[in-house]
Structure 1
Amino acid sequence: MLPFAINEYQERINQVKDIMQKRGIEVLLITNPANMNYLSGYDAWSFYVHQMLVIILDEDQPLWLGRYQDANGAKATTWLYDDNIIPYPDYYVQSKTYHPMGFIASILSQIGQGNRHIGVEMENYYFSAKAYEMLKTNLPNATFKDASQLVNNVRLIKSDQEIEYIKRAAEIGGHAMQKGIQGIHAGVRENDVAATIYHALISGTDTYGGDYPAIVPLLPAGKKTSAPHLTWSEDPYQAGEAVIVELAGCYKRYHAPLARTVSIGKPSQAFSDLSLVLTEGLNKALEAVKPGVTCEEIERVWRESIAKHGIKKESRLGYSMGLSYPPDWGEHTASLRPGDQTVLQPNMTFHMIPGLWFDNQGIEISESFRVTEQGCEVFSNYPRELLIQEPLPIDQSGKIS
C-alpha cells in the first residue's frame, strides 16, 4: 500500500512542474532517492547503483529508470504505470564498457527529449561526475541546468499525513533513547548499547514498526564527545564519563532526530552548569519559533543566550529534516544559522541541535519540531536535561545485582 494517496503525489509533481516552468526546465532528472520517493513512492535499497525518476513537463506521469532486477520493486512501491518503469540490463552495472547514463540518454532521445532543457541534481550524493559527463556526451543537443534543490524545496512544507509519520517516528525515537540510556553503565560495552538502540528503532511500538534510520546511532563517550559524529566501539563505558546519544526514529522514511547526554555517575559542577546554559538557550530558541520569523532570527536568539556565558558555537543550530535515505536525514535546504533568511511557515520541520563541542568534551541536547500557526510543536516528550545514570548496585560477591 502506498504511504500517501495518489492525488498527494500528483499535487507534489504539479508543484515541481510549476517551478520547472519558471526556471525554463522541460525535463527533470531526479537521482536523490528521497526525492524519488517523495514523488513516486519508490522505496528500496538500490541507490548504490544509478537510477532516476524523470519528470517531463508535458507528461502526466514520471518515468522510473533503474536496474533490471529493481524494476519489480518499482512496480511494487510506486503509483506509476508498468509501462513507465524502464529497466536497464545488468551489464550496465559497474561496467568498464557501459554506463547506465548512456542507456538513460538513449531512452530520452527515443522519446523525443534529447534536445530539451534538462535539469539535473548536481549537488547530490547519488549523482557522480562521471554520470554527468556521460549524459552530456550522449545528449549533445540538450541544455543542462542545475536543479539541485528544486524538489527539496518543495518538501520544506509537510502535509498533515507527513506530520503524522514524523510524530510516529518521534515516538519510536523516544522509546529507543530510553532503552539506550537505560543500558549505559560503567563496564557495559558501547556496541551492546548500540545494538539495544537498533533493536528498539526497528521493532518500534506495539502499534507500528520502525524503519532503518538514515544515520546510525551516534554514541561518542568520554573525550570522544568533543567530536559529534563518532559512532561506537567495543570499549566498556567508564564511571564518571559522559555519553552523547544522537539517533532518529524513522517511520516510512520520515525521521525525528533526538539527542541527549548522559553522565555515568554524578557530573562535575562545571559540566552540570554547561548543561543548564545549553538548555536555557535551547528553550529560548524554541520559544522564538513562529510563522514569519526567519531561520537566522531563531539562531540569533540562541547565540545571544549562550554569549552571556562567554560561549560561542561555530556550527549551525539546526536544519530542516524529514524524508530521507542514508547518509543523512537532513533535507539540505533551510538551516538555522546566520544569513539564512528562509521565512518559517506552518508545517516546516526542523532538528534543532544546540551541541557544544570543546577540546576534551562535548554536550548535546536536541529537539525536532514543527512550525505551527501559533509557534512550534516539539515532537518528543523526552526530558530536556542532562541525564544522570546512577551506578548499578553491587552485591557482596562483587557482581552487579
Structure 2
Amino acid sequence: MSLVTRLRYGLPSCISLRNLLRTDMIAKSNVSSNRRWTHSEPWHIDNMPELIRLRNGEKAKGTFSKAEMDGRISKLRNVMANESIEGVLFTSIHNVNYYSDFLYCEFGRPYGLVVTQDKVLSISANIDYGYPWRWTANGDNLVYTDWQRDNFYKGVNQELGQFKGKIGCEFDHINLDKYKKLQNALPGSTLVDVGESTMYLRMIKSDEEIAHITEGARIADIGGEAVIEALEEGVGEHEIALHATQAMVREIAKSRPNMTLQDTWTWIQSGINSDGAHNPVTSRKVQKGDVCTMNCFPMMAGYYTALERSVFLDHVSDDSLRIWKANCEVHEAGMKLIKPGIKCKEIAHEMNTIYEKHNILHYRTFGYGHSFGVLSHYYGREAALEIREDIETVLKPNMVVSIEPMVTLPQGQPGAGGYREHNILVVTEEGARNITHFPYGPEHLIVKK
C-alpha cells in the first residue's frame, strides 16, 4: 500500500500486515473448532484453526426483501417436514444463491448452505473473508480455512452431525468423491436427494423475482442496441461484444446500485461461428452479408436474462432470407402457444409442424426454450421446464420461459449459417406476457452502415 493511500485513509505510514490480520481475526472471529486462539498464542501451523466466524462489516442490502427470502425458506421447510428431512446441505451455486442471496465463486473450493428447521447458515472458504456473511441475507456464516485438508466437511459435521435421520443434498451436483466425504462427515445420517424437488420449487417465480427478471430483460435490450451501434464491416466480434457488455454492466450499476456486478457477458457469432448457440466470441472480423447472432446476457445477482437475434450486415441473400423468415414464423407461433395448461411437449410438436412445412426441421439443433431464474451458463438449469418433445411439464402462472427456435444450415449449402430469435415470456392466468421488446426479423435487422 502506498504512503499516499495510507494517509488518505488515516493509516499509519508503516504497519504490519501480519499484525493487522491477527488482531482483526481475534477480535471479530469466534473459533468454532477444537483449536481456539488466544491473544497470547504464537502464530504456528500446528494451532491454526479449522473453522472460524467472520462477521466483517454490516449485512448487505440484499437483492430481495426479507419476506421474499423467508418465504423461500418456509416453502423448503415444508418440503423437509413432509419428507422427514432433518437438515439440508445445498452445494450448487443456484440453490445456495436462491436460498441465501450469496453467489459464491467456487474456484476449486466447496461451498454450502445448511438449512434446518431453525437455522440457515452458509459455509464458505476463508479466501472470501467476510463477504459470504454479508451476503447470506437470512442467516449466519461459517468459514473454513485451508490450514488442514477437507475443513469444509468438518464444518458440515459441526452443523449437521447431530442429526441421525435424513439429510438432503443435491445428487445432481455432488460427484462420487464428494458423496463419500459427506457420508464420512455425517456417519449417522442417510443422504437423500433434494435437487429435483427444489428445482420444482424454483420453477414458480414470485412477484419480486418476475420484477427482477423483467428488469434484466430491459437491460438485455440495451445490450442489443449497443451491438447494432458497434456492428460494422471489419470490426472484430470481440470488440462488438465488449461494447455491449459495458453498456449492460453500466445500466445494471445505474438501476441497481447495491447489486453485485458479476458474470454479465455477450456473444457475437458471425459467419460460420453462428452455427452453434453457445459458440464463444472470437476476433473474427464481421463482413458484409454475414449472418450474425447477437447474444446479450445481463447477470443480476445470479439471475440470467437473454436477448438473442439474427442480424445481417448490409444485405441478405435470397436463400438466407427464406430461412430467416421461416425461423421468425416458428418464433411467433411459439410465443402465441405459451399459456397456462399446455404441456411443454405440445408446444414443441406444434412448432415442429412449421419447420416441416418449410422442409428445414432436420436443421433444428436444440429445444425451443427453457426456464429462467437463478441460472447462468455454468449453473442452474431447470430441466423440467424445457420446451422439448420429451417434457411433460404443464405450464402454470408465474413460470418464466423463453421461446428460441434455431436452425443451422452447414457450410456450403445455400443460406448457410445459424438463425435464432429469443424472447422471454411470463406465464399469466390468461396467457403470457412478453418482456423482451427488441425488434426481430428482416424488417428491422438488416443493418446498413
The TM-score, its normalising length taken from structure 2, stands at 0.79
> Could you give the per-residue CA deviations for residues 222-264 of structure 1, whole angstroms, max 9, x where no partner exists?
1121122112212211222111111222333322211001111
Name which of 277, 286, 302 aligns with 2:351: 302
* Contact 1:101/1:134 (8 A) holds in 2: no
Q: Is the 8 A contact 1:190 1:237 kept in 2?
A: yes
In structure 2, the CA distance between the partners of 1:160 and 1:80, relative to structure 1 (3 Å rule), is closer
Instruction: Give 1:371 shift.
Output: 0.5
Aligned partner of 2:137 among 76, 79, 90: 79
Q: Following the alignment from structure 2 to structure 1, what is the Cα–Cα distance between the partners of residues 376 and 441?
A: 29
Amino acid at match of 2:141: I
- Report the Cα offset of residue 101 of structure 1: 4.3
Are 2:228 and 1:181 aligned?
A: yes
- For structure 2, the 5+ residue unaligned runs are 1-60, 412-416
Distance 1:214 1:129, change over 3 A: farther
2:447 is the alignment partner of 1:389: yes
Q: Tell me what 1:130 maps to.
A: 177
Kindly indicate whether residue 59 of structure 2 is the aligned counterpart of residue 10 of structure 1.
Answer: no
Select between 61-70 and 312-321 the one with higher mean Cα deviation.
61-70
Q: Are residue 89 (structure 1) and residue 145 (structure 2) matched?
A: yes
CA contact (8 A) 1:118 1:144 kept: yes
CA contact (8 A) 1:250 1:256 kept: yes
Equivalent pairs counted in the alignment come to 378
- Determine if contact 2:94/2:380 at 8 Å carries over to the other structure: no
Q: Deviations over 1:206-237 (max 9, x none)?
A: 54468656574222211121122112212211
Residue 20 of structure 1 deviates from its aligned partner by 2.6
Give the aligned residue type for 2:103. D
The residue matched to 1:319 in structure 2 has which SS?
Answer: coil
Mapped contact 2:265–2:298 kept (Cα < 8 A): no
Identity %: 23
* 36-45 vs 259-268, greater mean Cα deviation: 36-45
Question: CA RMSD of the aligned region, Å?
Answer: 2.2
Q: TM-score, normalised by structure 1?
A: 0.88
Q: Does 1:61 align with 2:125?
A: no
Residue of 418, 422, 425 corresponding to 1:369: 425
Contact in 2 for aligned 1:291/1:371 (Cα 8 Å) = yes
Q: How far 1:291 sits from its partner (Å)?
A: 1.0
Rounded to whole Å, the distance in 2 between the matches of 1:307 and 1:260 is 22
Task: Give the one of 256, 268, 273 matched to 2:317.
Answer: 268
Q: 1:272 and 1:23 mapped to 2: Cα distance?
A: 55
Q: Find the counterpart in structure 1 of residue 150 from structure 2.
A: 99
Corresponding residue of 2:128: 70
Distance 1:109 1:269, change over 3 A: closer
Q: Which residue pairs with 1:357 in the alignment? A: 408
Query: What is aligned with 1:150?
Result: 197
CA distance in 1, matches of 2:256, 2:211: 12
| Letter of the structure 2 residue corresponding to residue 26 of structure 1 | E
Asked if 1:163 is matched to 2:163, the reply is no
Provide the rounded CA distance (Å) in 2 between the counterparts of 1:309 and 1:190.
31
Query: Are 2:108 and 1:51 equivalent residues in the alignment?
Result: no
- Structure 2 counterparts to residues 218-237 of structure 1, below 5 A: 218-237=267-286
Q: Is the deviation greater in 288-297 or in 309-318?
A: 309-318
Task: Quote the residue 1:293 is aligned against.
Answer: 342
The answer (yes or no) to whether the contact 2:87–2:167 under 8 Å persists in 1 is yes
1:384–1:213: structure 2 CA closer, same or farther, 3 Å change rule? Answer: farther
Separation (CA, whole Å) in 2 of partners of 1:178 and 1:171:
11
The secondary structure found in structure 2 opposite 1:298 is helix
Tell me the amino acid that sits aligned with residue 163 of structure 1.
I
